[in-house]
Structure 1
């Protein structure tokens, strides 16, 4: 493209220079010849006047008095009746430009100038025109190169940007080139890059969330299956464990559906009025074997008969994340305390562990933030799940740690309870 731009620009300039240069040469040649003829005519008129004045004054007309009146490159012949001819200057050879003027007393003056002088002047003019044309061509080439670079380099850059987008690098470059059409293309590519970047971020976030969120129900399902194997001789126990395992599978399916829904629109919750006590009881049953294996206990306290507005599967996943964090990073007894504040039901999860380090407290819900060599996704995903249905997840206290899940609550609770589950 660059070569075509330079060639086309140079062709246009050469055509323009050829047309106008040829016209200028013709005009200047005619002007020089006309000027030379006018000069010879003027010289003849001037000499005729001088000769006539001398005749009237009775002076002699000879070469001594007139040799200083003729230019060096011209030749003149003065003819006076009854007197010999007077020759002034050196007679030119070859073709000449001549002019003859006659006076009132019969005298005549002929002035000649060699055409080679005119040809030399035309040649000098032609050289000047050629030099100017050459400078114009060089300037045109330089401008063509600059213009080609101004147009070709942005196109190359835009092609590289499009190639980067196709290779999975959606970072916008925010480069502009001073050409409205090219800047418009750059705007479109940058907007597309931002959209692709958001899409890729959502996909990566979905993959990370899915891998993290599926780990908890899969762990619980694995524990249930292990218990089925351990109690295979007790038919009733096997049925009970199999039923619980099926519940885990259903919750796993719900988690997958929830993650897919959030990947499309993180605010498209499916909130309903549900029994919060049942969700808490389900989580306690799921995590009881793990806590028993660690010789730790779980305590339920606070208000009972609570109903909340939200997505049961999402709430269960949030509580599972908090309980799992207490199991992995906490110590001692884990307490799930329920209470009501205003029109909200609150579930607080705490343990006797060291809590959240002071430097991580304000950032504990940020993605990739973790002080215990974990992925740092659990609490961030849990907060997203809570906020999707209008709730919120907060760290109320760092030591000992107290995490609180706030949910909309419409039905009045029953009197408080306190149960210890080994």
Structure 2
């Protein structure tokens, strides 16, 4: 591209120089020739005046008296009536410029100038025009190279930017080149880089959220299957009933997995597309307690629920279950002692508090515990971040109310006022 720009610029300059140069040569040659003719004619007039003055004064007109009046490099012929013609200067051969003038007493002066003098002047003019043309072409070449670099370098840079985008590097370069059209292309590429970066971030976030959200129900499902395997070969009717119960719970876990996948895919397309409904909070809490009961039993710990029953909230069952499952799993992995789920009402909101008897959350983390990749126990740092996103998608919020012992609270919108009976059931 640079070569084409340089050649095209030089071609234009050469055409312009040729057109104007030839025109200038023609004009100058004619001007020089006309000037020479005028000069010869003027000299002839002057010599006629000199000869006439001598005739009037009665002085002799001879080569000796007229030699000083003849210009150098001229051939002059003086014809006086009744006298022999006088010739002065070297006779010119070839092409000459000639002018004749006749005086009042019949005298005639003829002045000749060789064309070589005119040709020398024309040659000097041609050299000057040629030098100016070469300077113009050289300046044009320098400007063409600079302009080609100014245009080609940004295009090369933009091509590299587009190549980087295609290779998966969406970082915008924010480079501008001082050319409006190229700057517009750079703006479009930077905008595309921002959009691609957001899309890649969303895809990575979806993959991380999906892997984390699926881990909890898969863990619970594996525990249920282990219970089924442990009681599959027994003839005890009670054990067979337990197998049926465990199989039913495992099927519910599969349905929950399907709901989690569907919700993650829906949120990846539009985070505002969650369909909140009125639901019985006791059913969700009971489901979670039943799911995690075997894991806590194996760890020699207990999980209990207390607080105000019969509360109805507005939300998505899968999202609320996912938030509670994350809190319960964190208490199992990082906490100690008994884990308690307590429900209460504050204003027009229902609060589900999850606490345990462990060391709690490092006070240095504070609210940063909900940030992605932030973890005080060498975990992925995604659980609480995903749980907060799920809560906010349903119009609720997840907060850390107390560090030691840890108290996490899930705030949900209340649908109706429940009955005021309080009880406690240990699992």
TM > 0.5:
yes
2:393 corresponds to: 388
Partner deviation per Cα, 1:236-285 (whole Å, 9 max, x = no partner): 11111111111111111111111011101111111111111111111111
- 2:186 counterpart residue number: 186
- The residue aligned with 1:291 is 296
**Structure 1 pair 81/361, CA: closer, same or farther in 2 (3 Å)?**
same
Match of 2:323 in 1: 318
Q: More displaced, 217-226 or 90-99?
A: 90-99
Whether contact under 8 Å (2:289, 2:304) holds in the other structure is no
Relative to structure 2, which stretch is displaced further, 130-139 or 260-269?
Answer: 130-139
Counterpart in the other structure of 1:76: 76
Select between 133-142 and 238-247 the one with higher mean Cα deviation: 133-142
CA distance in 1, matches of 2:67, 2:405: 127
CA drift at 1:61 = 3.1
Matches within 5 A, 1:257-336: 257-336=262-341
* Alpha-carbon distance in structure 2 between the residues aligned to 1:321 and 1:66: 128
For 2:421 and 2:47, the matched residues in 1 are separated by 139
Cα separation, 1, equivalents of 2:398 and 2:65: 123
Contact 2:302 2:426 in 1 (8 A): yes
Deviation of 1:329 (Å): 1.7
1:209, distance to aligned residue in structure 2 (A): 0.4
Counterparts of residues 34-183 of structure 1 (less than 5 Å): 34-83=34-83, 85-183=85-183
Deviates most, 118-127 or 103-112: 103-112
Partner of 1:239: 244
In the alignment, is the contact (CA less than 8 A) between 2:309 and 2:423 conserved in 1?
A: no
Cα distance change of structure 1 residues 66 and 325 upon mapping to structure 2, 3 Å threshold: farther
- 2:224 corresponding residue in structure 1: 224
Deviations 1:106-143 (A, max 9, x none): 22222222111111111111111111221222222223
Q: Over aligned residues, Cα RMSD in angstroms?
A: 2.0
Aligned to 1:414: 419
**Matched residue SS, 2:416:** coil
Deviations 1:288-319 (A, max 9, x none): 22222222222322211111110011000000
Mapped to 2, the partners of 1:39 and 1:223 lie a distance apart of 122
Q: Which moved more, 1:72-81 or 1:20-29?
A: 72-81
Q: CA deviation at 1:99?
A: 1.4
TM-score (structure 2 length as normaliser): 0.93
Q: Which stretch of the first structure deviates more once superposed, 387-396 or 177-186? A: 177-186
Structure 2 contact 303–339 (Cα < 8 Å) conserved? yes
> 1:217, CA displacement in angstroms?
0.5
2: CA distance, partners of 1:367 / 1:198? 16
User: Does structure 2 retain, via aligned residues, the 8 Å contact 1:335–1:350?
Assistant: yes
Secondary structure of residue in 2 paired with 1:304: coil
Unaligned runs of 5+ in 1: none
Question: How many residues matched?
Answer: 422
Contact 2:307 2:424 in 1 (8 A): no
Say whether the 8 Å CA contact 1:299–1:334 is kept in structure 2: yes
Bigger mean CA deviation after superposition, 117-126 or 154-163: 154-163
Deviates more, 1:290-299 or 1:96-105: 290-299
TM-superposition CA deviations, 1:393-417 (whole Å, max 9, x none): 1112222222111101122122353
TM-score (norm 1): 0.94
Check 1:61–1:398 CA distance in 2 against 1; reply closer, same or farther (3 A cut): farther
Q: Contact 1:97/1:112 (CA < 8 Å) preserved in 2?
A: yes
